[in-house]
């Protein structure tokens, strides 16, 4: 009776999930349409029906930051839902539509769908022009390209056209490095030219505003990067815990709740349980010896051993169930991580630029220190012990037996491949970008 009720619940859950899957195109379209309506409402109410201009002088900076935040969220919602609509329509076919009609689902008429899509395109086309796409591609560039055209006015136009990505901020350190490579000769020494340029900037009446604007842009980029890093860490962890507690856990416990279910997932767990039981018997005898008590009767030892065996069986049954839960919960966690990467392409571009600015802002000795620390941990002399502990922990996390042959083969090949990649990267890229850092690295490594 219990299994019948559970089967009905599973069937009802699968049917609801299938209906939700069939309604995905219409649901995605409606959500994208609602977000476009909200953008249009802001334009009509606060900008006289025109585009939401971040550099508009109609409102203060705080008000414009508020509008910009709303615009980013709404545009992100539109893009995510349109992507979801496209993917769901690619998977759905005529058979799925017939199945939807049988379950009582009615799709929107094609004319209404086209009308909504046309309205969405009209609203978001103001913020996704061809020039914005080019600017977004050229937004994150290598440091050697910054000296070609580090113009602040271009950054301002980029902020207006692409609200999802704050503009690129040229840094003086990058310009010094790149100019040292490009401008190798000149009529006057570079120090004199840089002094004249600095004086021109200091005498410019608009330099203070430009510095403040650049600081705000840098602050916005830093906030976006830190927030996205935290999301990459927190979202998979929360997904793992929630899926394990509310989705995978009940199903696994239902199927492994019977006493006939296997207690141990592998032979290592069984050997560990036998070792624990043997140590418990030896502990009983040892305590009996040191207390100078009369020897325990075989019946008493058997009773204590049986109680301990039941406890060990329950512990390892729980550990086995937990390992099975971890496998499926990790799948959900990886899916959430990949989904987060797919829907946050603009944030990925910002965080890449954020790390570029941090790395290229380090001194040569700091770069060499980080490279040596990283390589010694993962491909150094003592790294095999760390890899062994890591692989054994992963095997235990998933309830798999620790295959010693696989572990030793992995340690013998993967760190070597990783070391080769490091050396190639140093020779191919770092030697061209920062030769002094490579020289410092070699001296420190020796």
240-286 residue pLDDT tens:
999 988 888 888 877 776 555 667 777 778 888 888 888 888 888 88
Specify the range with the lowest mean pLDDT, choosing from 11-15, 297-301, 307-311.
11-15
Confidence band for 197, pLDDT divided at 50, 70 and 90: confident
pLDDT above 80 (res 371): yes
Burial of residue 277 (CB within 10 Å: 0-12, 13-18, 19+) is: middle
What pLDDT is recorded for position 240? Answer: 92
Of 73, 92, 94, 71, nearest to 27 (Cα)? 92
Segment 359-385 mean pLDDT: 84
- What pTM did the predictor assign? 0.52
CA 304 to chain centre: 50
Mean pLDDT value of segment 188-208: 70
Burial 95-110, CB ≥16 within 10 A → b, else e = eeeeebeeeeeeeeee
| pLDDT per position as a tens digit, 107-162 | 667 788 888 888 888 888 888 754 344 443 333 333 333 333 333 333 433 333 44
| Angle between helix 2-22 and helix 94-102 axes, rounded to 10 deg | 120
Cα(359)–Cα(356) distance, rounded to whole angstroms?
A: 5
Whether 15 has a pLDDT exceeding 60, the answer reads yes
- Cβ count within 10 A of residue 341: 12
Q: For the purposes of burial, counting CB atoms within 10 Å of the CB of 441, is it exposed (0-12), middle (13-18) or buried (19 or more)?
A: buried
Q: Which residues contact 322 (CB under 8 A, 6 or more apart)?
A: none
Q: How far apart are CA 256 and CA 374, in angstroms?
A: 43
Check whether 56 has a pLDDT greater than 80: no
pLDDT tens column, 160-170: 344 444 444 44
- The arithmetic mean of pLDDT across residues 45-70, rounded, is 76
Among 163-177, 185-199, 278-292, 429-443, the minimum mean pLDDT is found in 163-177
**Residue 187: which pLDDT band, with cuts at 50, 70 and 90?**
low
Residues near 37 by beta carbon (within 8 Å), at least 6 away in sequence: none
> pLDDT higher for 166 or 61?
61
Confidence of residue 65 (pLDDT cuts 50, 70, 90): confident
Asked whether the predicted pLDDT for residue 238 surpasses 90, the reply is yes
Q: Is the pLDDT of residue 333 over 90?
A: yes
Q: What percent of the chain has pLDDT over 70?
A: 72
For the chain, percent of residues with pLDDT exceeding 90: 8
User: Alpha-carbon distance 265 to 273, whole Å?
Assistant: 12
Taking residues 79-83, what's their average pLDDT?
86
Q: 70: buried, middle or exposed (CB in 10 Å: 19+, 13-18, 0-12)?
A: middle
Banded model confidence at residue 239, pLDDT cuts 50, 70, 90:
very high
| pLDDT of res. 264 | 75
3-class SS at 55?
coil
């Amino acid at each position: 009776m219990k299994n019948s009720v559970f089967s009905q619940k599973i069937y009802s859950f699968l049917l609801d999930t299938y209906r939700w899957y069939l309604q995905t195109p219409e649901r995605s379209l409606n959500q994208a349409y609602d977000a476009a309506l909200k953008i249009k409402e802001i334009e009509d109410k606060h900008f006289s029906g025109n585009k939401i201009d971040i550099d508009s002088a109609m409102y203060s900076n705080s008000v414009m930051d508020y509008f910009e935040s709303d615009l980013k969220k709404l545009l992100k919602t539109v893009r995510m839902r349109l992507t979801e609509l496209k993917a769901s329509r690619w998977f759905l076919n005529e058979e799925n539509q017939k199945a939807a009609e049988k379950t009582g689902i009615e799709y929107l008429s094609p004319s209404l769908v086209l009308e909504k899509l046309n309205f969405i395109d009209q609203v978001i086309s103001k913020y996704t022009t061809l020039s914005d796409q080019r600017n977004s591609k050229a937004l994150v560039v290598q440091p050697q390209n910054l000296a070609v055209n580090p113009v602040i006015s271009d950054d301002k136009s980029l902020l207006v056209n692409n609200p999802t990505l704050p503009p690129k901020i040229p840094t003086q350190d990058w310009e010094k490095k790149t100019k040292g490579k490009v401008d190798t000769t000149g009529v006057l020494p570079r120090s004199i030219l840089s002094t004249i340029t600095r004086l021109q900037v200091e005498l410019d009446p608009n330099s203070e505003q430009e510095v403040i604007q650049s600081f705000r842009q840098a602050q916005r980029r830093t906030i976006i990067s830190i927030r996205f890093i935290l999301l990459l860490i927190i979202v998979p962890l929360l997904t793992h815990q929630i899926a394990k507690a509310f989705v995978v856990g009940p199903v696994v416990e239902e199927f492994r709740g019977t006493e006939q279910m296997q207690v141990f997932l592998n032979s290592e767990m069984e050997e560990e349980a036998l070792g624990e039981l043997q140590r418990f018997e030896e502990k009983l005898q040892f305590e009996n010896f040191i207390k100078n008590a009369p020897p325990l009767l075989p019946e008493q030892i058997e009773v204590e051993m049986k109680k301990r065996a039941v406890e060990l069986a329950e512990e390892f049954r729980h550990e086995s169930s937990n390992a099975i839960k971890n496998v499926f919960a990790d799948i959900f966690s990886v899916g959430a991580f990949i989904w987060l990467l797919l829907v946050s392409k603009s944030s990925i571009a910002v965080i890449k630029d954020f790390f570029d600015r941090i790395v290229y802002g380090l001194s040569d000795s700091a770069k060499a220190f980080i490279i040596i620390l990283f390589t010694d941990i993962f491909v150094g002399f003592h790294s095999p012990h760390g890899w062994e502990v890591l692989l054994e922990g992963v095997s235990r996390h998933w309830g798999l037996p620790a295959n010693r042959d696989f572990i030793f083969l992995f340690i013998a090949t993967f760190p070597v491949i990783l070391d080769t990649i490091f050396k190639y990267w140093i020779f191919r890229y770092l030697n061209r970008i920062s030769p002094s850092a490579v020289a410092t690295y070699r001296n420190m490594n020796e």
